[in-house]
A and B are shown apart, each in its own frame.
Chain A
């Protein structure tokens, strides 16, 4: 029989609390890192380029990236489950082109906006069915959906389709002045940003306070265990892809209203941005851990990165995809290193 170890000397209470927080909230660490990175970038940008920490820059950051935040939220759902959705960019393209064409054809713009979301949901349902009921791997299924959506969008139109100037759809981009600063330096918010905020709030609630959301985390942790514990795995998986597709449709509404036009080449590479935002925000690519708020931070990091690169001027715009890809790779490798060590 082994001898009992002696009791450790009494430890200060704060150390205990820190230890407790470390043990219970360790999964939040990567998200915290993302926040720190964001703050760091803001400080760096302000110091080197100036005019970052001011109303209009911050407003533009949110307004211009509202669509990215929305698809990042959708991507978070799917990645948390251990899947992936490569079709979001293409779905946005199809949804926006189809939507604008319908508006131009005289359909009720409000109805069209709802339809745009529904079309996204339709593609999501297709992916979900393929993955869950036909046992196709998520990346193949959503790759096929991506090509399908992009192809259909190209069939509809290959030239920019413009929204009429007075279309209610453009209202989603209506500038609401919150704070009137000097000259153009105003804090502006648009319904698009509000929509994004509502989506984030809804996602946080769903993921942390509903059984559907907890099932998503459970599947990401161990799909077999989730199944054995009696959770409705098949349904949840399919619905997660429907959500991702629908949010892509919603993002299409927000983006189209801002641009005032839609084209079939919209959204190329946006799935990478959404994945990068999610991964930067601390969600494990293998699933099971991560927070929606982290993905929001990740989206802002990417948005801010674009702003800084533009300000800098020395990095060619074509390098942004390499940089995004590189950042994604770095984060994935980091995740791999941390998870790998734990398993060993």
Chain B
């Protein structure tokens, strides 16, 4: 596996955006005939590194060597010409064209009267055969086959354009187990043919199943390159979140398991709540004044579950009860009507209304609930905005500033103000501290604690496991679209335990509970076969 020199070598790569250093002196190597996985949490720089390699981003510093020669990649065409092909999560083919045409698009076989379709489809079949898909009819429209097959078509297209490096960006997010197995057999075939494969995925088990080599990035920096056989899951997770296991053991919970008022029953109870393709049917109970953390890696289903609890998405299964009465949470309006608020993780696309002022952004949800005919008076608006500018320390403290001109942290605080202004009984916070500075982080965390003390039920989602441990009374652990366990927090619970739960939980494998976990009240849901 550790064959000749690497086919791709990136040395000292730095990429800077206004205000953010996305990659800082990162190195990376790809060897032919090897599957190399790139791992890292949100903001780690995986996506940026890949875009630098595929010519989408220009690098500020460092060199890229392809087959030993230094190359400057200014465009996707450059990257393709250098033999690097990418297959993205959303496949990026043309669904209205046939399979054969998609494979050969741009390289069709020409005859005397233009494109010779028979020869083109024959060439397509040959390309597909290289992946073991010889019996796929190239004349079928692409849209008529499953996403898994479409992905394989995209891969064979990459081979047609003679890729020496194949980048697979989150290829398995929408595949079931059988489709993943098929994809992996294709990957292994290509590996035997000498292709260098860069496999990007957050599914730990899959990474361990297919990779020969793993590189970890964290916060834009290079954490390390390891051979898979030298690495175990727990160590990998620890490297990704930046603490070694010892340090994680030292981080205990700051919230004491106070006597929860469970006499009145849960504020919200969900049974079998699920949505196809995003989260499996899940049961969960939320109590007033309790902070519940959703812990899990990227893509585990945390956001999807929270969205269902608000009504941002319509569930396919299950039911929700609020105060004991069945409710239907199908739209955000439903959520707001029941005193639920959800702060999105996707500030830019679903959060801020860029060209409106801070004041308008803060009162937006309150105003929406009142309807268009009952506008808030200017005085009421000022009162609300002033309250949250002060409470959350929003800077600049100017209600008339356009929100798009604020820093990420302050934008997040404005959005938090929007939801707090609706006086919710259940507040779902999805990555509220992502991408913001340390000071703002602390302020938001303090606010979360204060809310719970006031009797608000809070769900706190964060990829930083130690943050979740520090703030929550109860921790719901999610992995691969399932809820795999709940941990009642206490002074003995540490972040590394959660990491172990995630690492050890495997499809069809029961997780053994250690004695301390049992005493700490850890429960683990069995994976149904």
Residues of B within 8 A of A227 (CB): 76
Contact status A217-B97, CB under 8 Å: yes
Q: Write out, one digit per residue, whether chain B residues 91-133 have a CB within 8 A of any chain A CB (1) or not (0).
A: 1111111100100011010000111000000000000000000
For residue B77, CB closer than 8 A to chain A, the reply is yes
Measured between C-beta atoms, what is the minimum distance from A240 to chain B in Å?
16
**CA gap between A218 and B93 in the complex, in Å:** 9
Measured between C-beta atoms, what is the minimum distance from B232 to chain A in Å?
26
Q: B77 contacts which of A2, A209, A230, A289 (Cβ < 8 Å)?
A: A230
Residues of A within 8 A of B161 (CB): 230
Secondary structure at chain B's binding surface: helix, strand, loop or mixed?
loop
Using a CB–CB distance below 8 Å, which chain B residues touch chain A? 76-77, 80, 86, 88, 91-98, 101, 105-106, 108, 113-115, 137, 139-141, 143-144, 157, 161, 178
Contact status B96-A217, CB under 8 Å: yes
Contact status B76-A211, CB under 8 Å: no
Q: B94 contacts which of A24, A205, A226 (Cβ < 8 Å)?
A: A226
Residues of B within 8 A of A217 (CB): 94, 96-97
**CA gap between A210 and B116 in the complex, in Å:** 10
Q: A225 contacts which of B94, B98, B108, B144 (Cβ < 8 Å)?
A: B94
Contact status A214-B98, CB under 8 Å: no
A-B contact pairs, 17 of them (CB 8 A): A2-B178, A20-B137, A24-B98, A24-B137, A24-B140, A24-B141, A208-B114, A209-B115, A214-B97, A214-B108, A218-B97, A218-B105, A225-B92, A228-B76, A229-B105, A230-B106, A289-B96
**CA gap between A24 and B140 in the complex, in Å:** 5
**CA gap between A221 and B93 in the complex, in Å:** 8
Q: B97 contacts which of A211, A221, A342 (Cβ < 8 Å)?
A: A221
Residues of A within 8 A of B105 (CB): 214, 218, 229, 231
**CA gap between A228 and B167 in the complex, in Å:** 14
How many of A's residues come within 8 Å of B, CB to CB? 28
Residues of A within 8 A of B86 (CB): 228
Contact status A224-B96, CB under 8 Å: no
**CA gap between A280 and B381 in the complex, in Å:** 53
**CA gap between A27 and B95 in the complex, in Å:** 12
For residue A220, CB closer than 8 A to chain B, the reply is yes
**CA gap between A224 and B92 in the complex, in Å:** 7
Residues of B within 8 A of A175 (CB): none
**Which residues of chain A from 313 to 344 have any CB-CB distance to chain B below 8 Å in the complex?**
342
Measured between C-beta atoms, what is the minimum distance from A203 to chain B in Å?
13
- A210 with B80: in contact, given A27-B96, A217-B97, A222-B94 (CB under 8 Å)? no
For residue A23, CB closer than 8 A to chain B, the reply is yes
Residues of B within 8 A of A2 (CB): 178
**CA gap between A330 and B426 in the complex, in Å:** 46
For residue A26, CB closer than 8 A to chain B, the reply is yes
